[in-house]
């Protein structure tokens, strides 16, 4: 009887796949539902994201949660961060309104898929007019 590798939701017979295929399957299942986080310490300032968050497998962005320890203040102000794919196109905007400290379970505007080696950057486009937001923390969840 052939060896059967048990993975969540799958049973794969050893004689039907290569070791490379098995490792790839395991990596993809581990990556499913994974998260990446971005942290900006201190008072926010406008900035073009230089930090790259690399993705290690093919995946898609499913939700975003964003928090600040100090809420922005000022009439009509907010914290606005733009999530970019490979430093180019904006795939999602995160807005935390004045007086608020979070915006949770933000759905990307459309299906955003990534392949292994793609990266994400975060631009801070607005910070608050009277008091800037501080200590921004963003959690990106992938399916």
Residue pLDDT, tens place only, 57-96: 899 988 888 999 999 998 889 999 999 999 998 999 999 9
CA distance 97 to 76: 8
Considering the domain architecture, whether residues 18 and 85 belong to the same structural domain is answered as no
Confidence of residue 106 (pLDDT cuts 50, 70, 90): confident
Task: Record the tokens describing residue 64, joined without a space.
Answer: 């975003």
Q: Both 106 and 127 in a single domain?
A: yes
On whether both 119 and 136 belong to a single domain, the answer is yes
Q: Which domain holds residue 20?
A: 1-31
CATH number at residue 76: 2.60.120
Q: 47 and 113 share a domain?
A: yes
Q: Quick one: 131 and 117 in the same domain?
A: yes
Task: Indicate if 27 and 42 belong to the same structural domain.
Answer: no
Residue carrying structure tokens 């998260």: 35
Domain count, the chain: 2
Q: Supply the pTM of this predicted model.
A: 0.72
Give percent above pLDDT 70 in the chain. Answer: 76
| Whether residues 40 and 26 fall in one domain | no
């Amino acid at each position: 009887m052939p060896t059967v590798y048990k993975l969540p939701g799958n049973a794969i017979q050893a004689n039907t796949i290569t070791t490379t295929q098995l490792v790839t399957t395991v990596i993809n299942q581990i990556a499913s539902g994974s998260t990446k986080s971005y942290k900006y310490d201190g008072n926010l300032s406008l900035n073009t994201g230089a930090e790259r968050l690399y993705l290690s497998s093919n995946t898609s962005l499913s939700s975003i949660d964003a928090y600040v320890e100090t809420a922005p203040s000022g009439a009509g102000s907010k914290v606005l961060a733009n999530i970019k794919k490979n430093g180019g196109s904006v795939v999602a905007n995160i807005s935390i309104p004045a007086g608020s400290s979070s915006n949770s379970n933000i759905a990307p505007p459309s299906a955003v898929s990534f392949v292994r080696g793609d990266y994400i950057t975060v631009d801070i486009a607005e910070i608050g007019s009277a008091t800037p937001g501080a200590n921004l923390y963003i959690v990106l969840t992938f399916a």
